[in-house]
């Protein structure tokens, strides 16, 4: 079992941009140092509180600052990008990182980004599939070519001078391509189903209830089997908000702080998703009202906090509801108390993960054996 960190990254302290980026870089370096396997970085063009506008650009700064951690886009919002631009940039990054790269892609979700790019929100799923199909075609085809997918056309046919290298686009370092992943957040997510059908990895969001997370694997499996693909639970990443302290008392003291980072995070997420009519994602009962969706509910349902023993027990109980998964992604929360959050990451890697992996590995093997036999 692997451990990663998922960074939207959400910053709510009002810090200047450079200070937010400095914190994100420090977190990434620390994750590599204490033994995390993966780091996933989001991108949003038009949201100050999620300030990373280009995931590949940010991750490129980490290549010389880290040693072993995989650097992953979480995600490239393909409807807002030209496929040739992503094909070239992703291939370049794959070479620069010597293959320490997983290519997370998605349909986009931020309304203001759809407005600024004039992207069609209703066609975002189809645009995602079309754009990635074009990226693969570019990597697979030697110029001259004239390529078409459902929503994209790319041609290099009149200006190719192979002896000069003109008209030739880079291909990835990894053979044949970097592994692809996408994220899911809605119940029985259509994006998870698309991932299964294309043999991509899937990431379940940290602000999902356990029942929704479980539905992602069902959707992924349905998509995979419909395309003749064997679903592999090791390709399933589950994000959670995790805080580990040296003692239960220390964890309780942190959670009791009125403006701790977990409380401010879920206050923002609840306010934001309610504003766009998406409060249902947080609801644990069909008759639950919007007013019942509050910080206390989210922390109770979606936060795993305590000392190492308690956190292991909570993660085991959570996995009993969802089924086993291959990678735990702890979610970055703003370092309102830097020593505590650094220590939380260290305890997660050194004390929680060995025990969680010991529990999860045989269950992964058993599930795979049963599911592959179907």
Question: What contacts 370, CB < 8 A, 6 or more positions away?
Answer: none
Distance from C-alpha of 194 to C-alpha of 206, rounded to nearest angstrom: 20
Closest to 190 (Cα-Cα) out of 132, 122, 255, 253: 122
pLDDT score recorded for residue 371: 74
pTM of the predicted protein model: 0.97
Quick one: how far is CA 219 from the chain centroid? 17
User: In this structure, is residue 84 part of a structural domain?
Assistant: no
User: In this structure, is residue 164 part of a structural domain?
Assistant: no
Residues of the chain with pLDDT under 70: 372-374
Write out the residue range of the structural domain in which residue 21 sits.
2-74+179-373
pLDDT score recorded for residue 318: 99
Give start and end residues of each alpha helix (H) in the chain.
17-34, 55-62, 83-96, 111-117, 124-140, 190-197, 210-226, 248-256, 261-275, 295-302, 308-322, 338-347, 353-373
Q: Structurally, how many domains does the chain consist of?
A: 1
Concatenate the DSSP letters of all residues of 175-190 into one string.
Answer: SS---EEEEE-STT-H
Concatenate the DSSP letters of all residues of 100-112 into one string.
Answer: -EEEEEE----HH
pLDDT score recorded for residue 373: 65
Question: What contacts 193, CB < 8 A, 6 or more positions away?
Answer: 219, 220, 222, 223
3-state secondary structure of 281: helix
Q: Which residue has the tokens 């290519």?
A: 103
Distance from C-alpha of 368 to C-alpha of 374, rounded to nearest angstrom: 10
Tokens, residue 296:
């206390």
pLDDT score recorded for residue 374: 62
- Using CA atoms, how far residue 25 sits from 31, 39, 54, 268, in Å, is 10, 11, 14, 23
User: In this structure, is residue 97 part of a structural domain?
Assistant: no
Are 168 and 162 a contacting pair, CB within 8 Å? yes
Torsion of CA 81, 82, 87, 92, to 10 degrees: -70
CATH of the domain at 297: 3.20.20.30
pLDDT score recorded for residue 369: 72
User: In this structure, is residue 222 part of a structural domain?
Assistant: yes
Tell me phi and psi for residue 182, to 5 degrees: -145, 165
Distance from C-alpha of 122 to C-alpha of 101, rounded to nearest angstrom: 30
Distance from C-alpha of 368 to C-alpha of 231, rounded to nearest angstrom: 8
3-state secondary structure of 270: helix
Tokens, residue 364:
């992964």
User: In this structure, is residue 12 part of a structural domain?
Assistant: yes
3-state secondary structure of 123: helix
User: In this structure, is residue 328 part of a structural domain?
Assistant: yes
Q: Which residue has the tokens 């700064």?
A: 61
């Amino acid at each position: 079992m692997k451990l990663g960190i998922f960074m939207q990254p959400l910053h709510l302290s009002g810090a200047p941009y450079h200070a937010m980026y400095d914190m994100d870089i420090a977190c990434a370096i620390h994750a590599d140092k204490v033994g995390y396997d993966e780091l996933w970085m989001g991108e949003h063009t038009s949201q100050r509180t999620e300030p990373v506008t280009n995931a590949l650009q940010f991750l490129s700064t980490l290549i010389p600052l880290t040693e072993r951690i995989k650097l992953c886009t979480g995600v490239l919002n393909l409807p807002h990008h030209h496929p040739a631009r992503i094909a070239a940039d992703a291939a370049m990054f794959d070479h620069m990182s010597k293959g320490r790269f997983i290519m997370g892609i998605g349909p986009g979700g931020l309304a203001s980004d759809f407005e600024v790019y004039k992207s069609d929100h209703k066609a975002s799923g189809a645009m995602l599939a079309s754009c990635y199909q074009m990226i693969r075609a570019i990597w697979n085809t030697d110029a001259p070519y004239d390529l078409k997918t459902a929503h994209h056309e790319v041609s290099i046919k009149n200006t190719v001078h192979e002896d000069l290298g003109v008209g030739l686009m880079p291909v990835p370092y990894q053979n044949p391509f970097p592994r692809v992943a996408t994220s899911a957040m809605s119940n029985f997510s259509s994006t998870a189903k698309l991932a299964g059908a294309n043999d991509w990895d899937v990431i379940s969001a940290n602000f999902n209830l356990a029942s929704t997370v479980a539905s992602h694997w069902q959707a992924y499996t349905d998509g995979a089997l419909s395309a003749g693909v064997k679903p592999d639970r090791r390709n399933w990443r589950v994000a959670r908000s995790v805080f580990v302290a040296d003692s239960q008392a220390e964890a309780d003291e942190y959670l009791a702080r009125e403006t701790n980072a977990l409380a401010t995070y879920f206050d923002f997420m609840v306010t934001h998703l309610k504003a766009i009519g998406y409060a249902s994602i947080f609801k644990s009962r069909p008759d639950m009202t919007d007013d019942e969706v509050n910080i206390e509910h989210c922390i109770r349902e979606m936060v795993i906090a305590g000392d190492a023993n308690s956190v292991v027990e909570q993660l085991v109980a959570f996995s009993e509801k969802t089924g086993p998964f291959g990678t735990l992604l702890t979610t970055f929360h703003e370092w309102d108390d830097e020593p505590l959050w650094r220590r939380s990451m260290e305890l997660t890697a050194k004390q929680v993960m060995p025990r969680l992996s010991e529990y999860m590995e045989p269950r992964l093997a058993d599930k795979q054996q049963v599911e592959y036999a179907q």
